[in-house]
Chain A
């Protein structure tokens, strides 16, 4: 089950929420998709960290074959190519790896080569597998890193829970129907009290392994990539005028993506009427209100995980996680 945590601006508490939800789960994967500034690892301090590089394809010119037709120069929306004094110049860091120039070149003078744009780190922190995407400074887009991390995730899900994989591969056009099958499989597996598994038509599955996707701030391409596979979106917001504006942006995004979602209000001081009214008018559930609490601030500033240090917060985040899992299952049955 993929739970994405997003917000319209930075500093709202995405990492706080996603790190603590992962820590509150029995077993979880935490995927830090905020690749421009990943900081979940600062809390988890993962062990046994392995690394792999992520590369994209960029064009490479064979000057002997280039006829100077300039089709590539004219085509590039990002102006990554220039043709000067009978020479094609390629600006690697401007290129967005669309591959269009290579496809267009009538002389086959352009080919593709790898360019490393960042890396993915994986490590373990108690019950949580921590995945961190790191984009190199100056690179135009972290989408390829996010894509790679979530694809890895998808493959693993398929390997570990065949029932889930089967339902995801369902040829049914309606994604809700597909999600329904996934959730139904989960419900079945959770509620089944029988010890022998022979009555299941497919092999038995474990309780849902939760994946927390810590999204980049905002609503741009990298966020869209991060929530594509999400079964549920948690919108983190502050109960201020500015917070409401940012909530509205992510609300529009998840509505467009047709994702089930709920709001977590962070830094609450007792008067949340702005966001309350907004959510009430639109029937958006407010899942939990986190107080503007000095204890939480202190834990966070020390890069401690509140769930692992405070019983109060363990209870709060365990309840939130349960609520979200229920919402996903409810959402699935509601659309049956």
Chain B
């Protein structure tokens, strides 16, 4: 299984990004090969729908699991349509969170925020 994590820096020792759609990088960790790859998140600077496009990217990279601090509704809708499971990260680095996930210490993320798109109007 491939695990995706939004990151502000392209280092395993760095903390998980506070944002999903606006994270600078997406880390894809492959459990089978133990390989970590960082991808530039093109939608970090996009004019809107960043969560949607980042979710599309995560899915296209073949991830089945996402570890994130939080998630907007639109991104969650896309991930749900693809059947991805989303777990809430704990304070700490990507590496620590991957370990916590493997040992079963992360819980499913179920509190979504309504998003900050639509020029601040938010909500749906």
Contact = CB atoms under 8 A, between A and B. Distances in A.
Contacts of B47: 77-78
Contacts of A78: 46-49
Given A80-B49, A84-B82, A94-B49, A140 B118 contact: yes
Contacts of B121: 36, 137-139
Contacts of B40: none
A73 interface: yes
Contacts of A87: 81
B118 A84 contact: no
Contacts of B123: 137-138
A100 to B, nearest CB: 14
B78 interface: yes
Given A77-B47, A79-B49, A138-B124, A85 B74 contact: no
The secondary structure that dominates the A interface is: loop
B49 A91 contact: yes
Interface string A64-97: 0000000001001111111111010101011010
B52 interface: yes
A84 B52 contact: no
Interface size class of B (residues with CB under 8 A): 20 to 34
A137 to B, nearest CB: 6
A89 B80 CA distance: 12
For A36, A85, A93, the residue with the greatest tally of chain B CB atoms inside 10 Å of its CB is A93
B81 A91 contact: no
Nearest to B60: A83
Contacts of A76: 49
Contacts of A89: 77-78, 81
A94 B52 contact: yes
Interface string A129-158: 000000001111000000000000000000
Contacts of A83: 56
Interface string B60-90: 0000000000000010011001110000000
A142 to B, nearest CB: 10
Nearest to A83: B56
Contacts, number: 66
Interface in B14-67: 43, 46-50, 52-53, 55-56, 59
B6 to A, nearest CB: 16
Contact of A82 (B46, B48, B55, B118): B55
B60 to A, nearest CB: 9
Nearest to B51: A79
A139 B56 contact: no
A76 B50 CA distance: 11
Contact of A84 (B43, B50, B53, B59): B59
Interface string B83-110: 1000000000000000000000000000
Given A84-B78, A138-B123, A140-B119, A94 B48 contact: yes
Contacts of A140: 48, 118-119
Contact of B52 (A77, A80, A85, A139): A80
A79 B118 contact: no
Nearest to A73: B56
B84 to A, nearest CB: 10
A318 to B, nearest CB: 38
A217 to B, nearest CB: 13
Given A94-B117, A139-B118, A82 B124 contact: no
Contacts of B83: 85
B26 to A, nearest CB: 15
Nearest to A36: B121
A79 B53 contact: yes
Nearest to A140: B118
A81 to B, nearest CB: 8
A91 B74 contact: yes
Nearest to A87: B81
Interface string A32-76: 000010000000000000000000000000000000000001001
A276 B46 CA distance: 40
22 contacts: A77-B47, A78-B46, A78-B48, A79-B49, A79-B50, A79-B52, A80-B48, A80-B52, A82-B78, A84-B56, A84-B78, A84-B81, A85-B81, A87-B81, A89-B77, A94-B48, A94-B49, A94-B118, A96-B48, A137-B123, A138-B121, A139-B118
